[in-house]
Structure formats: structure tokens, C-alpha cells
Amino acid sequence: MGDKLYSLRVGLCEIEGNRVKVIPLSGPYVPKVDDIVVGIITEISAFAWTVDINSFFPAFLPAQSVFGRRFNPERDELGSRFRVGDAIVAVVAAFDRSKDPMLSVSGPRLGRVPSGVLIKISPVKVPRLIGRRGSMSKMIEDASGCRITIGQNGYIIVAGPPEGVVLAAEAIKMVEEQAHTSGLTEKIERFLAERLGMMEQPDAVEAHPTPAPVEGKAPMNEGISSEGKAS
């Protein structure tokens, strides 16, 4: 309107040259083709796996995406690849609002996640967790000694030593809660430095419990537990 721009949603404004981007502060995950997502297997049929991707839309992973074009339901057992409760990293291969999203695990770093803790945050906060060029997530990884797999759907898996997982989970939740504030990177940096200093003095710090599973979600198989709740 004139020389002013108005957003239809409340969010954070990012300006890069002539490009203006608004990151909403709340909202569900709406799949987009080529999104990398973390999903949980919830059902197995003869021809596909049903996958929870933290969306209004259930996702499907076709058997042919895993077994290839020669897939034969009489010969190939889907449960031999992924079981109910398994966590996977997948890419959204196809989606429109007339049919549910289709996933694929064909590609590097895609497939079953062997271990870790599942943390759930609001999908719209994921860009803040990643940071510019991955700076925020890398800072948390370096401080915690953990590997962090971030799905654009708000499902995140943290794998590493127990104390590192707790630290990373706390930092991730702090990012989610304060995503709308300025100076977030500096706040997280200070938080991590303080917590690391406390961890170096175990006698002065009460031990933190291992993150507990969340009720109401699909059970995780061995090696994967869940913590946190998406907004």
C-alpha cells in the first residue's frame, strides 16, 4: 500500500536487499515439496508406511521408494525396513491439497534414525533454530557435543551423550520460547557458556534427569525417545 508493506500474519521481519521475509510466530506445518522432515512411522500397510510429520496431513512413504520398482508385496516385508515407532528423515516428494504428502528416503542422509531423543517445537520457529547459514544449530551442536537433525516440520532428533542431550534440549526450547526476541544468538551463547561452566563443577549442580517420553504420541522403538511438545 503506497510505499509500505503489510503482512497478513504476525511474525518476525527479515530484510535482505530488496527481499522482505516474514517468519510467523505460530502456525501448523504445511508440507512443501523438497522439505526435509523428521517423521515417525505410525502404520504399515501392504504398499506403504504411514508417517506422522507433525501436520494436519498424514504422510505416506511408498514401498517402491524403499524397495525399488521391483517391489512385490508377496515377497517384500515392509516391517523388515521400518517398524511402527521408527524415526526417519525423509524429503517431501509430492504434495498438493487434493491428496496427502508423499515422502521419499532416496538420497544422502535420509532413512531410519538409529538413536536419539525426539524434541518437538513449533514448525514456524525452525528457521530461528537453524539460524543464518546454520549458525544457531551449529553453536548448539558444538556446545553439547551432539548431532542435531532438524526437520522443517518441527520434529528434531538430538543424539549424543546424555548430559549433552539435556543441554541441547534446553537450548532448543529456549530458542522456541524466545524466537520473537532480538539478540537471540547472544542469549543462547551466554546460556550455553553458563551451563557448560556449571557442568564442569558437578558437585555444585544437581543432576538433570533424562528427558521423559511424551504421552499421546506413537511409541518410539529402541534408541529413540521423545521430549517436548510442539506449539
Same domain, 132 and 64: no
Strands 111-112 and 87-96: antiparallel
Confidence of residue 31 (pLDDT cuts 50, 70, 90): very high
Same domain, 131 and 223: yes
- Cα–Cα distance measured from residue 185 to residue 149, given in angstroms and rounded to the nearest whole number: 19
Residues 123/125/130/132 CA torsion (nearest 10 deg): 130
Domain boundary pick from 85, 112, 139: 112
% of residues, the chain, pLDDT over 90: 60
**CA separation for the pair 53, 93 (Å, rounded):** 13
Region 139-155 average pLDDT: 96
Same domain, 121 and 220: yes
Per-residue model confidence (pLDDT) at position 23: 67
Residue 36 pLDDT > 90: yes
What is the pLDDT at residue 30? 92
Supply the range of the domain harboring residue 54.
36-112
- Say whether both 104 and 204 belong to one domain: no
Which residues have a Cβ under 8 Å from the Cβ of 213 and sit 6 or more positions away? 220, 225, 226, 227
Residue that the C-alpha cell 508440507 belongs to? 31
Q: Are residues 128 and 212 in the same domain?
A: yes
Instruction: Identify the pLDDT of residue 186.
Output: 92
The pLDDT of residue 220 is above 60? no
**Segment 174-199 mean pLDDT:** 89
My answer on whether 106 and 123 are in the same domain is no
Report the CATH number that the domain containing residue 156 is assigned in CATH: 3.30.1370.10
pLDDT for position 137: 95
Question: What is the per-residue pLDDT for 216?
Answer: 37
Rounded average pLDDT over 146-154: 97
Any domain includes 15: no
d(CA 192, CA 171): 7
Are residues 106 and 136 located together in one domain of the fold?
Answer: no
Specify the higher pLDDT residue, 49 or 197: 49
Is 9 inside a domain boundary?
A: no
Q: Which of 112, 143, 166 is the last residue of a domain?
A: 112
Kindly state the cell numbers that stand for 169: 534440549
Task: Name the pLDDT band for 63 (thresholds 50, 70, 90).
Answer: very high
Candidates 228, 229, 222, 227; CA nearest to 85 is 222
If asked whether residues 96 and 159 sit together in one domain, one would say no
Mean pLDDT of 91-115: 93
Report if residue 44 sits inside a domain: yes
**Domains: count for the chain:** 2
pLDDT at 180: 83
Better-predicted residue by pLDDT, 228 or 5: 5
Last residue of a domain, one of 112, 127, 154: 112
203 has a pLDDT exceeding 60: no
212: nearest Cα among 225, 201, 203: 225
Quote the percentage of the chain above a pLDDT of 70: 81
Residue 26 lies in a domain: no
